[in-house]
Amino acid sequence: MLLKLKQELTSLSNPEKAKILRKFFKTGKGQYGEGDIFLGLTSQQIKDIAKKFYDLNLSEMQNLLESKIHEERVCALRILVAKFNKFKKERIKQREIYEFYLKNSHRINNWDLVDLSAPNIVGEFLQKEDASILRQLAKSSNLWERRIAIVSTYSFIRKRSFGETLVISEILLNDEHDLIHKAVGWMLREVGKRNKNALEIFLQPRYKKMPRTMLRYAIEKFPEEERKKYLKGKI
């Protein structure tokens, strides 16, 4: 089955789209996606193929995650999320997937891979566990583990629990990477959409020292005049 999945992905290769994706996902020398190979598939094409191979085991998932082909890693993660959801009443199997995911965090190494999987596996699993692992990940030297930490909290936000997001945002407030600025700002914006007061309380003592991109993302849904005041530092 694994070989067939790879063959189906390859059969849909689109060199022109692959060229665009390589640029979009920063695969050049020294960039965060350096070395990533793209076949040029659309998100829907990958979803459709993943649906056919939900019976792949973790050993086969490991093979896909170790691939340099981006779409193969996307497929693996889509299958993992589907398996995790299937085992809602089987905590042992969910834990196995969660632990497998964290063991392979270094292979979940682009922002789209993190965003499609972290809330739906790590975040969901930690709803019933000690979530201190997120603080450890937030302090990691690995960019993708830091992004996993903050994006995983989206699962908490969806349940109107904002504490984890605010704690991780505080840890990452001075992070140097733009992808973290965007992710933290995104999660703060999601908090604000559900509880504007909670977001404002967090922002008040911090907004002047937040990276500009992080702040812009966080206040994106605020009224225009209020946004201008924050950006001018006059709140």
Q: Following DSSP, what letter does each residue of 52-78 receive, concatenated?
A: HTTT--HHHHHHHHT-SBHHHHHHHHH
Beta partners for 60?
none
List Cβ neighbours of 98 (8 Å cut-off, separation of 6 or more): 84, 121, 122, 125
User: Which are the contacts of 198, defined by CB distance < 8 A and separation ≥ 6?
Assistant: 162, 166, 191, 192
pTM tops 0.85, yes or no: yes
**Residue in the block written with tokens 């392979």:** 104
Instruction: Of 54, 78, 70, give the one whose Cα is nearest residue 9.
Output: 70
Digit-coded pLDDT (tens) for 136-165: 999 999 999 999 999 999 999 999 999 999
Q: pLDDT (tens digit, 0 to 9) for every residue of the chain, 235 residues total?
A: 899 999 999 999 999 999 999 999 999 999 999 999 999 999 999 999 999 999 999 999 999 999 999 999 999 999 999 999 999 889 999 999 999 999 999 999 999 999 999 999 999 999 999 999 999 999 999 999 999 999 999 999 999 999 999 999 999 999 999 999 999 999 999 999 999 999 999 999 999 999 999 999 999 999 999 999 999 888 7
Residues 190-199: tens digit of each pLDDT: 999 999 999 9
Tokens 């659309």 belong to residue? 42
Distance CA 18, CA 35 (A): 13
pLDDT tens-digit map of 208-224: 999 999 999 999 999 99
Select from 3.40.50.2300, 3.40.50.300, 3.90.1280.10, 1.25.10.90 the CATH code of 1-129.
1.25.10.90
Does residue 151 contact residue 134 with C-beta atoms inside 8 Å?
no
Which residues of the chain does CATH 1.25.10.90 include? 1-129, 136-235
DSSP for 78-140, written as a single string? HHHHHHHHHTTT-HHHHHHHHHHHHHTGGG--SHHHHHHHHIIIIIHHGGGS-TTHHHHHHT-
The CATH code that applies to domain 136-235 is: 1.25.10.90
SS3 category, 150 = helix
